[in-house]
A and B are shown apart, each in its own frame.
Chain A
Amino acid sequence: MPVAFDEEVRGLVSKGNSKEAVERAKEIHRQVATAATEALLVEAYLARIRALSDRGLAVEARALAELVRKRYPSSRPALGQWKAASAAPRPTLEDLVRPLNDPATPPEKCSAIETTLRKELTDPAALAQCAALRPEHPLKKAAAALSRAFAAATSGTVQDQEIALPEISRRSPLAPWKTLVRAVAAFYRGDDEACERCLGAIDPESGPARLIPPLRALLSGKADPTLKPPASSLVALVGGHEAPVREALRALDAALSSRKRNRIARAIRRAVEECERNDPDLLVSLKQQISIRALVADVPVEQVREAMGGPSLKDARYWRLFACAMEREGDVLEAASLWEEFRRNAIGEGWFAAGGPEEATLYLHVAELLRSVPRQELEETRQRFVEDFQGHGHYYQDQPPSVQAAAPPAETDCYFLHPERLYERTCAVYPDPEVFRQWHAWEEETESEGKAADRVAWAWHEALPRDSRPLLFLMRSAEKRGALKKALGYMELAESVDGLNPEVRRARLRLIVASVLRHARQKNFRLAEKDLAAIEILPQVQEGKRPAFLAALRCLLHRWEGRVEEGARWRSELARRMDGEAGAWIVLRGVASACGTAESGLEAAPAPPELGKLAGAVAQACAVGEDLGVPFEIPQEWEGALSEALAHRDCALAPSDLRTLAEAALRGDRLKLAYEASRVGLARGGATLARFLVLRARSLPPTAFTRRSNCLAAAAELARGQRDTDLVDEAVEELRGGRGFGFAPRDFALKAEALEKVIQREKNAREFPSTSGSAFDEDLTGACDCPACRGQSGRKGPRAGRGRERDLLEEFARSVGGDFFPAGVPPEAIPVFLELLEKYAGPDGSFPDLRVLEKRDPKIVKRLMEILMRSEFGGR
């Protein structure tokens, strides 16, 4: 063997690099394989075994020695000597530190002792109590302080000064302990970053480094299978076991889905036990969740209570959870009553103060919840609910005194079931114009005479006197009642508040126009002329095509008073102002109709202009009427030509004209024409897309309510993006039941993907949906039957109204037996069916038996049966 090899390996050993020495010696022995190389390898192995032993890795050292002994018999004498030496008793702590008492001990020896202490000390208390070290020795004092700090940091909250340990310097053998104490304190303080920083600063060779792995496991919250038993036990004691709780909760979820009561009870028991054992802080909210979920799953209260080992805490959190659950179940009135319990408890518990914005938000939430129910249904169910409602006082039995103190009074004012009273409370707390607007809209729908709506508008005006909108509402209401003088009074008030507002400016003009028309209807031409003169001095009357309206009025007044020539002059002026006969005729006809005279008898319809000009002329004429509050209708005889003009590829009508046309068509219930106008508007895209989606929704047949909802939700989403709050409001109001069945989903938000799908589908849907047949012949999914959409869904041809809901409803019908779905099923039952479908339809479209459904959801089945029984359909 070359001498160089020998020197190389020994050199590595002498540098303390025994591991590399073994690797090099193995390599040499593999290449040369002589007795000398084996001796060199054994020598390297012995150095490695000693190194392991010196680092306290006795088990590893013994294992390696055994391996070497078996493989290389020549090593046995040397290994025997090592074994005998290692079996000799190690020096005790006393023996180790005793030389530190002697001032004559050389610094090198002191340093060696401190290095050993740094590596091997596992309990500072032992050093603090070590008799071999004199009491005043700084190391002994520092160990005592450290021991106290360690005990304090592991036993409770500590202040920084308690663990400052100024007596331990960075060079001290106890420095890693000081860092450990800081890591423990940071861990309990919840400052995980600081804890991790401290752990990173601890010397991995030092004694306290043994606590690094369990502390890291505690920080991550994840189990570490490599931890030794004492470390695992520490992690379990300090951090609890999340896994058993998680497992028990999963089992409980599965049990609740199975709806098997005994299985649920067993799972509840296990979940509560695991939680008590491992995560007691979670117990209160877990029990509350269990109570509510078990209630929804129809598990008897007593069984649940027994399984939980007592009732859940009926605090504000409980009532919030309960209310949310009932909202989800669709039990709106119950949810409203539970939100009231939440409100009282939350105020009592200090969640928020009475009369603050939070309370206003809650009132508004409940009001809107109630408004998601069709008005008639709300009134009927409310009456029954109030008759049966006995309050929630019984929930407060067996509760702690603090909760019992929040029990409701015996007599409950059910204000929370009335949107108008909730709006009133909201506005009293937070007079917000938007809430006033909603409240006003609600009252406007409630009664035809509008007294309540006027009271709301007046309250709105009093609360927010700088807002002109309530005055305009009051003005319109008075105008509607024919109280034009009163209306003018409100208008003047509005002018004093916001004279520059275009709506207010338009209002004065409109009111005087209304006065002219009234006088004309009364054949009081003198007063009509007087009003007309008052209009003509208004500067705004010269704007746009307004002079055409006045020309029509003048023309008619002259004709009625027999001044034929003057009449003819104004008739020419009208034609000039409207750029042709078509527009002029619509305006004249509309004004005459508003004056109570059928002008069609006076003047025959002119021939419609060429297609390219027709749509524009009609739109402009309708816009004149809309502007002055006298909506004109589209002549029936021109409807076909108009549809043709809109379908023409060169139709270049401006979006505002398209919108006017669509509105006029909707006024006359000409859905097909409105649909056509919305099609052209949608195809244009751009900023008016949301507006045309609303018009598309309104132009759909009333039975297409799902498609309608999709269009409105998409419009609301787009308008929200454009920050067009008026349009958002309009879409939402429509969704709430402006038309159709008054059924609207509560979450109007659409995801980007769904939004894009609705837009594309509506853009592609050129054909007006069929309205023939029963309500169910309409495609309720809203999926269009255009070739593109059919291609996407893999359908081969038009579905002829056989939508998914239709199939599912028929499946449902079969499950309940008999001829359940003949044509003419009441439309108000459709939302209930859909609710049932959503909740209980299996993935394959199957339904549970009606008896099962009745047990699962008695309220909804009862509601459905009541609707069916009330209707003609049910009576059959």
Chain B
Amino acid sequence: MPGGHGDPIPREDPWAVLGVSAEAGEEEIRAAYLRKVKEHPPDRSPDKFERIRDAHETLSDPRRRFRRVLLADDISSPLVYLLEGRRPPRKYVGPEPWRAVLKEK
């Protein structure tokens, strides 16, 4: 069964390799895979193709995908990793602070 200990977690983030979000469904993953393969066919860029194929294999198998989710938290990383890849929240503050900038001479 893929996803066991003998099957190590690929070092690369498969979602990043295929350029899809963590919430991407099967169809989106497949479309991204085909797009990437077109960009990097095996005869022209075999290394990239290998990475793309590995990423697709990981994401198209729900068990492999879930194993990545299971081990997503790395307690040994510095705490600032919590901020990585994370967009600060965008707060609605009403028009006044925006108008203040517009009125500034």
Q: Which A residues are within 8 Å of any B CB, using their own CB?
A: 56, 58-59, 122-123, 150-151, 154-156, 184, 187-188, 190, 207-208, 210-211, 214, 218, 221, 228, 230-231, 233-234, 237-240, 242, 245-246, 249-250, 252-253, 271, 279-282, 285-286, 289, 292-293, 296, 317, 320-321, 324-325, 328, 352, 356-358, 360-362, 364-365, 368, 372, 426, 430, 432, 434-435, 438, 716, 728-729, 731-732, 746-749
Contact = CB atoms under 8 A, between A and B. Distances in A.
B43 interface: no
A361 B6 contact: no
B26 to A, nearest CB: 13
B25 interface: no
B4 A249 contact: no
Contacts of B75: 289, 292-293, 296, 321, 324-325, 328
Given A190-B87, A240-B91, A352-B66, 20 more contacts: A122-B102, A154-B95, A208-B102, A228-B101, A234-B100, A240-B89, A242-B88, A246-B83, A252-B79, A253-B80, A280-B89, A282-B83, A285-B82, A286-B79, A324-B73, A328-B75, A430-B1, A432-B1, A716-B6, A732-B5
B79 A211 contact: no
A207 B102 contact: yes
Contacts of B94: 151, 154-155
30 contacts: A56-B105, A123-B102, A154-B92, A155-B94, A210-B102, A211-B98, A234-B97, A237-B93, A238-B90, A238-B93, A239-B88, A239-B89, A240-B88, A240-B91, A242-B83, A280-B89, A282-B83, A296-B75, A320-B72, A321-B75, A328-B76, A358-B66, A365-B5, A368-B5, A372-B5, A426-B1, A438-B4, A716-B6, A728-B6, A747-B8
A365 B67 contact: yes
Interface of B: 1, 3-9, 11, 62-63, 66-67, 70-76, 78-80, 82-83, 86-95, 97-105
A362 B76 contact: no
Residue of B76, B86, B99 contacting most chain A CB atoms (<10 Å): B99
Contacts of B95: 150-151, 154-155
Nearest to B6: A732
A361 B63 contact: yes
Contacts of A184: 98
Contacts of A211: 98, 101-102
A749 B70 contact: no
Contact of A746 (B5, B67, B78): B5
Contacts of B79: 249-250, 252-253, 271, 286, 289, 293
Contacts of A56: 105
A841 B17 CA distance: 37
Contacts of B105: 56, 58-59
B1 A365 contact: no
Contacts of A154: 92-95, 98
A328 B62 CA distance: 25
Nearest to A214: B101
Contact of B80 (A239, A249, A426, A438): A249
A320 B90 contact: no
A253 B81 CA distance: 11
A207 B98 CA distance: 12
A249 B66 CA distance: 29
A324 B74 contact: yes
B4 A281 contact: no
Contacts of A123: 99, 102-103
B83 A245 contact: yes
B83 A249 contact: yes
B78 A250 contact: yes
Contacts of A249: 78-80, 82-83
Contact of B4 (A221, A228, A364, A747): A364
A187 B90 contact: yes
Contacts of A188: 90, 92
Nearest to A427: B1
Nearest to B103: A122
A378 to B, nearest CB: 15
A490 B79 CA distance: 57
A218 B78 CA distance: 25
A748 B7 CA distance: 8
Given A231-B104, A246-B80, A361-B63, A435 B92 contact: no
Given A210-B104, A296-B75, A434-B4, A361 B66 contact: yes
A282 B82 contact: yes
Closest 10 CB pairs of A and B: A749-B8, A732-B6, A432-B1, A249-B79, A358-B66, A230-B100, A361-B63, A434-B1, A368-B5, A122-B102
Contacts of B78: 249-250, 253
B69 to A, nearest CB: 8
Nearest to B86: A282
Contacts of B104: 210, 228, 230-231
B76 to A, nearest CB: 6
Contacts of A230: 97, 100-101, 103-104
A165 to B, nearest CB: 15
Nearest to A290: B79
A731 B5 CA distance: 12
Contact of B73 (A210, A228, A321, A357): A321
B102 A365 contact: no
B66 A357 contact: yes
Nearest to A154: B95
B68 to A, nearest CB: 10
